[in-house]
Amino acid sequence: MKLLKEGIYQLDRNQTSQINESDLKNLEVSASKVNRLRSRVLYHSSPNSEPQHMLICYDSMSVVEVAFHSFGEGFLILNGLAQYRFYSIEDGSVIKDVKMSPASMKGTFYTYISPNVAHRVFPLTKYVFANEVAYSTFSPEKTFYGEGNLYDASNKVKSEELVTQPLIRNTDTNFTKVSSDQYVFESNIGVGEVSYESVHNLLKKEKKPFSITPSSKMTAFKKHDFVLEKLYIIPNNSKLEIKLEDSMISNIYGCANISSKSLNEDLDASNNFVIGPIKNSEIIIQNINSEFSIMHITTEKNI
């Protein structure tokens, strides 16, 4: 990884790299040296790439304002605990809270946020690590911050204050099977959740690997001949055969072996948990966990 400036690293997409525990330690140190107390690794190759994908480290005191975007984004927690809070754009009131934790803690580990949904993340532990996947190229004009009377009070709330406030739960995520190996999910309020429990329930119906993505209605994204991100669920004693074009793989739960003609690596959710980019390769992802594995795969295109 190349240090662009304090707090921001760039992954070299011209070679296949791994992210492990030592990289997380570097991000923790780097986050402590910048005013906003957060650091990141840019997985995308340029501002013109879709998606804009990064591994981000939040300190418990990170500066995070209420924001909303003209594009959708996925938030996948890898380490630590966080609470996502969502607000009405009409009156600024809280419409939903999502407590998030890694899949190993058997809670909600992935949240998809539709375009123009006001949101704010609160780190609840000293450090929080997450994949953030923006369904867009980069442009400052596509992000707006909740300012003025509508969001002043919300921006002043600190993480430690959340324990004294009611948790607003509005779970309306619905999963639909759209093909033999794919599920999509939708939410009427534009906030979809994927939890250990929801994956476990889907596995009761499936014997083979399958994928989970937000629906096209959720993303409101211009149609392409590729999908920006997918969660792949690989049952016990199963393997997934897939062709990757320019993709990053994050191991979210369990252990798996990634193999191709030029690659043979084990990934573990607790250490060597990211590998990529893998380009124009037929690969096999073999579940080597006794239960099931969850993989997060993003594919980049330059627009």
At 174-187, the pLDDT tens digits run 999 999 999 999 99
pLDDT value, residue 289: 75
Q: Is residue 47 in a domain?
A: yes
Burial 108-127 (b: 16+ CB within 10 A, else e): bbbbbbbbebbbbbbbbeeb
Q: Which of these, 243, 228, 246, lies nearest to 16 by C-alpha position? A: 246
Q: Which domain holds residue 134?
A: 2-164
pLDDT value, residue 226: 65
Q: Is residue 18 in a domain?
A: yes
Q: Is residue 231 in a domain?
A: no
What sign has the CA pseudo-torsion 149, 86, 214, 80?
positive
> 3-state DSSP call for residue 187?
coil
pLDDT band at 271 (very low <50, low <70, confident <90, very high): confident
Instruction: For residue range 34-93, list pLDDT tens digits in order.
Output: 999 999 999 999 999 999 999 999 999 998 999 999 999 999 999 999 999 999 989 999
Q: Who's near 217: CB < 8 A, 6+ residues apart?
A: 186
Q: Is residue 44 in a domain?
A: yes
pLDDT value, residue 274: 95
Q: What are phi and psi of 26, to 5 degrees?
A: -65, -40
Q: Is residue 139 in a domain?
A: yes
Q: Is residue 173 in a domain?
A: no
Q: Is residue 271 in a domain?
A: no
Alpha-carbon distance of 244 to 226, in angstroms, equals: 11
What CATH number did the domain enclosing 158 receive? 2.60.120.10
pLDDT of residue 166 exceeding 70, the answer is yes
Q: Is residue 252 in a domain?
A: no
Alpha-carbon distance of 253 to 93, in angstroms, equals: 34
Q: Which of these, 235, 239, 178, 182, lies nearest to 207 by C-alpha position? A: 235
Q: Would you say 91 and 151 are in contact if contact means Cβ atoms under 8 Å apart?
A: no
Alpha-carbon distance of 298 to 86, in angstroms, equals: 25
Structural domain total, the chain: 1
